[in-house]
Amino acid sequence: MNLDVYSSWAYTEAQAKEDTVIVRARERGRELGVDSVGPSTANLLTVLAATSGARNVVEVGSGVGVSGTCLMRGLGAQAALTTIDIDVDHLAAAREAFTEAGFDHSRIRAISGRAEAVLPRLTDAAYDIVFLDADKLNLAEYLSQAIRLVKVGGMILLHDAFDQHRVAKPAVRLPSTIATRNATKMLQSDERFRTSLVPTGAGLLIAARIKDMHA
């Protein structure tokens, strides 16, 4: 990253202000060794949720509730979040963040389990946003399910689309990097989606669905 690009990135990150709910969630994340979405990405999630008019959102990888809280803050009062994580401590931390943010518990379904086992039980084309922020080695399966779940007019959001800035380096052949590259190529080549790779935080790939399953 050259100096001008880094300066622009750092300036963008510095503009994102966070309240005590998110600050406390990040503190719990550090205690648990969880890396949450960065400040600028967190704010972008709120903006995307607010402008999409989403009613149903599913999140793969609850973390400690930073991304879920920011998504919920952009949703309308009747919208709901389904968040999935295999780690019960992470889910407990996420629930604490949701409570501190003042969200009605009836609007949040927190599911403990392996996402590759939970996602197939969710309804086809029932979600406006599918946010993926989980282990990269199962990313192909998560993405396949996300494509099934997202409705026309909705979007798939892939966090850490740069895989710690390794994606742009062709010589890097780490499994997580290959999985991220493949996921990006899969969505970019799918005629049902229009994509944009946003260089904020660790990178956010936005894929908007414009056609149905059979188009």
90, 159, 165, 214: which is the annotated catalytic residue? Answer: 159
State the chain's mean pLDDT as an integer.
93
What pTM does this model have?
0.93
With bands split at pLDDT 50, 70 and 90, how would you rate the model's confidence at 10? confident
Residue range 11-29, pLDDT digits in tens: 777 788 899 999 999 999 9
105 in catalytic set: no
Q: Is the pLDDT of residue 140 over 60?
A: yes
- Percent pLDDT > 70 in the chain is 96
* Helix and strand element counts for the chain (H, E): 8, 7
Q: Are 60 and 117 in contact (CB under 8 A)?
A: no
CA distance 174 to 47: 32
Q: Show the domains of the chain with their CATH numbers.
A: 3-209 (3.40.50.150)
CB 138 within 8 A of CB 183: no
74-120: per-residue pLDDT in tens? Answer: 999 999 999 999 999 999 999 999 999 999 999 999 999 999 999 99
Q: Indicate the range of 21-25, 191-195, 197-201 predicted with least confidence.
A: 197-201
